[in-house]
Amino acid sequence: MLRDVSKWERVGYGRKSTLEKEELISPEKIHYLIKYPRQFKEGVSWEDITELIAAEIGAIFGLEMMSVEIVTRNGRRGCLLRNFVKEYDAKMTEEGGVLLSALVDDYKELQESSLKDMELIDAGFKIMKKFVYWETIKSEFIDMQLFDILIGNQDRHPFNWQLLFLETGAKFSPIYDNGASLGFRFEDEKLIQMVSNPQEMNKYTEKFHEQFLLSTRA
């Protein structure tokens, strides 16, 4: 039986996001976010379930993942995420998109370019190497990209990772926002079809390549 967090105090609605969010405080005064899966006219969405599964997979590989639990709130199922900013007592946070925007000329030019596939990835990493915190985050950042390939993440972009600024210095955030992965919109029949067709699987898992930079063009 899923834990019911209906009585937890709501203190906000979270930042702008594709998924509906609420900011909650538990009776133990621990800060959390709860995200609800989207409802579609056709098909299904398992974004809360895949968020949990992705977190478990990442932990198996030794990656630092956001803590995830499936719960219910007022009759709705969602994924409960422990607020790592509060957990680390970060003095300040910045999303990657905000930080990279400081590289105004290069970053804007890349966003507006027509590059695709490996040319886009190569140009993206050349930009990252100019980033002042690159040496600090390089290992975790590349691990995140490899993890996204593994789970077929469709939604990794510069606003889906952060730097936490602690008293001891800058730290790469735990990996979060992994719900749009692992065939999150596929019924069982479609999943079987996908795993039986290597070309379809490759097409799906490689889709994330351009998400890192292109999603900010919208």
pLDDT at residue 13 is higher than 90: no
Could you identify the residue written with the tokens 């590059």?
A: 115
pLDDT at 218: 36
pLDDT at 216: 39
Regarding predicted confidence, which is higher, 17 or 24? 24
SS3 state at 73:
strand
pLDDT at 46: 81
| Distance separating alpha carbons of residues 180 and 98, to the nearest angstrom | 22
Across 28-32, 140-144, 192-196, least confident range: 192-196
Across 16-20, 50-54, 184-188, least confident range: 184-188
Split at pLDDT 50, 70, 90, the class of 22 is: very high
DSSP assigned state of 208 = G
What average pLDDT does range 167-176 have in this prediction? 94
| Distance separating alpha carbons of residues 207 and 116, to the nearest angstrom | 11
pTM: 0.80
Split at pLDDT 50, 70, 90, the class of 104 is: low
pLDDT at 173: 96
What average pLDDT does range 157-161 have in this prediction? 88
| Distance separating alpha carbons of residues 16 and 21, to the nearest angstrom | 9
- Average pLDDT for the chain: 84
What is the phi/psi pair of residue 152, to 5°?
Answer: 65, 45
Q: Which helix (H) or strand (E) covers residue 56, if one does?
A: helix 47-60
Most confident among 38-42, 140-144, 206-210 (mean pLDDT): 140-144
Q: Which helix (H) or strand (E) covers residue 65, if one does?
A: none
| Distance separating alpha carbons of residues 179 and 190, to the nearest angstrom | 18
pLDDT at residue 217 is higher than 50: no
Across 34-38, 43-47, 149-153, least confident range: 43-47
Across 98-102, 132-136, 180-184, 213-217, least confident range: 213-217
Most confident among 9-13, 126-130, 184-188, 198-202 (mean pLDDT): 9-13
